[in-house]
């Protein structure tokens, strides 16, 4: 494995960094306070290829790989975790599910508009009372001739209200039986499909999280992805890649909090010297730097395995678990370094602190990641 980023990766990272500084940073707190989902910003990112990073050129995408994808998410998340989260969910979940499991007609129908952000993507697996217990989902799809009728509610869905295209996993068999779920694509505007409650969140407030409600929502069989009963297996594969993106998201947040802490520790003076001179602060910074570096190696390893089409389940779970916990620890230490100022919205670290926690919950909690890792280790 070559640890030196390619010229393409460096170029893509620089472009994402410049975009974030110019088009995101000036509005970060405004969007956070208002819980505003900045769709126009995502359209602009789509024009730069950031909303179809992994989509091949033939479907209108950027045709890049996981190393570039990791770099883009990190650079965006260093400035705003919310935008990084929405970017990750659109690319890794909805768009990648269609790319991975759609037939040629489905790819040509939906990917070009997703890749340019003309359409925003959503992905629906989680439900109010199931969470990690996806085998017991209540949302059902019942075959009726050449159509399927969907009923149920999905929650904690990124872009649940604003998404134009949703990949939805619905139960097509009996609860807790093997092969009991199937994936479908549902377009906004389909009768019986509506957005529900928008969540009022601790962090990631500019990334829309909402319910998706299906009330006798009728869709043709041509919008089924893959075979009947294959939905949960597909979801596990999608989550393997998605966890790399959440690890990158967490890493970006951690890097943002760390860089702010280093700068502040050099500028803030106490007892006639910068606080970075004090061991209590410098040791915190040393720990932060070390843990961020370790997380990066796990992420790079997962990217390498994904790029070379090897099994990545264990490594992506490790990367997601470790990087997300590091993000929480680093952002917590960042608030401590800033002291009272770190507890105010005039300085950036309180937002990193709030945003970081979601990384230990979304796309499988830290406990679920440990379960996945343990199963792989003991297999």
Q: Which residue has tokens 């993106």?
A: 245
H helices of the chain, where? 7-23, 28-34, 39-47, 66-79, 81-88, 96-101, 104-115, 231-267, 279-307, 313-338, 349-356, 366-378
Burial of residue 329 (number of CB atoms within 10 Å: 0-12, 13-18, 19+): middle
Q: Which helix (H) or strand (E) holds 188?
A: none
Q: Which of 208, 296, 325, 363 is an active site residue?
A: 363
Which residues are paired to 167 by β-bridges?
A: 123, 185
DSSP SS3 for 279: helix
Of 317, 292, 300, residue with least CA distance to 376: 317
Q: Is the dihedral of CA 320, 95, 351, 265 positive or negative?
A: positive
DSSP SS3 for 271: coil
The verdict on whether 363 is a catalytic residue reads yes
Contact yes or no for 77/18 (Cβ under 8 A): no
Which residues are paired to 194 by β-bridges?
A: 213
Query: Catalytic residue positions?
Result: 363
């Amino acid at each position: 494995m070559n640890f030196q980023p390619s010229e393409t990766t460096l170029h893509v990272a620089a472009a994402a960094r410049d975009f974030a500084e110019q088009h995101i940073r000036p509005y970060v707190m405004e969007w956070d306070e208002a819980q505003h989902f900045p769709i126009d910003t995502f359209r602009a990112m789509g024009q730069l290829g950031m909303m179809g990073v992994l989509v091949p050129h033939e479907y209108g995408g950027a045709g890049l790989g996981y190393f570039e994808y990791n770099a883009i998410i990190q650079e965006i998340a260093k400035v705003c975790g919310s935008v990084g989260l929405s970017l990750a969910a659109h690319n890794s979940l909805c768009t990648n599910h269609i790319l991975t499991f759609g037939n040629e007609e489905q790819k040509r129908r939906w990917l070009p508009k997703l890749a340019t952000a003309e359409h925003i993507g959503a992905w629906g697996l989680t439900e109010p009372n199931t969470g990690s217990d996806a085998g017991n989902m209540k949302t059902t799809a019942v075959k009726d001739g050449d159509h399927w009728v969907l009923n149920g509610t999905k929650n904690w869905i990124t872009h649940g209200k604003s998404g134009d295209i949703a990949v939805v996993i619905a139960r097509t068999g009996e609860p807790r039986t093997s092969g009991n779920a199937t994936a479908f694509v549902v377009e906004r505007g389909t009768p019986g499909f509506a957005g529900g409650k928008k969540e009022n969140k601790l962090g990631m407030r500019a990334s829309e999280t909402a319910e998706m409600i299906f009330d006798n929502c009728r869709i043709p069989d041509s919008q089924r992805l893959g075979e009947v009963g294959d939905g949960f297996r597909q979801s596990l594969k999608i989550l393997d890649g998605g966890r790399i993106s959440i690890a990158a998201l967490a890493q970006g947040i951690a890097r943002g909090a760390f860089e702010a802490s280093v700068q502040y520790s050099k500028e803030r003076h106490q007892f006639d010297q910068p606080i970075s001179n004090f061991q209590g602060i410098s040791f915190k910074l040393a720990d932060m730097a070390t843990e961020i570096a370790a997380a990066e190696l796990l992420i790079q390893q997962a990217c390498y395995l994904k790029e070379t089409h090897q099994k990545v389940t264990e490594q992506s779970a490790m990367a997601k678990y470790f990087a997300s916990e590091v993000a929480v620890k680093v952002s917590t230490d960042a608030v401590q370094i800033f002291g009272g100022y770190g507890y105010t919205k005039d300085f950036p670290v309180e937002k990193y602190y709030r945003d970081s926690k979601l990384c230990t919950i979304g796309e499988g909690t830290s406990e679920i990641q440990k379960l996945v890792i343990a199963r792989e280790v003991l297999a």
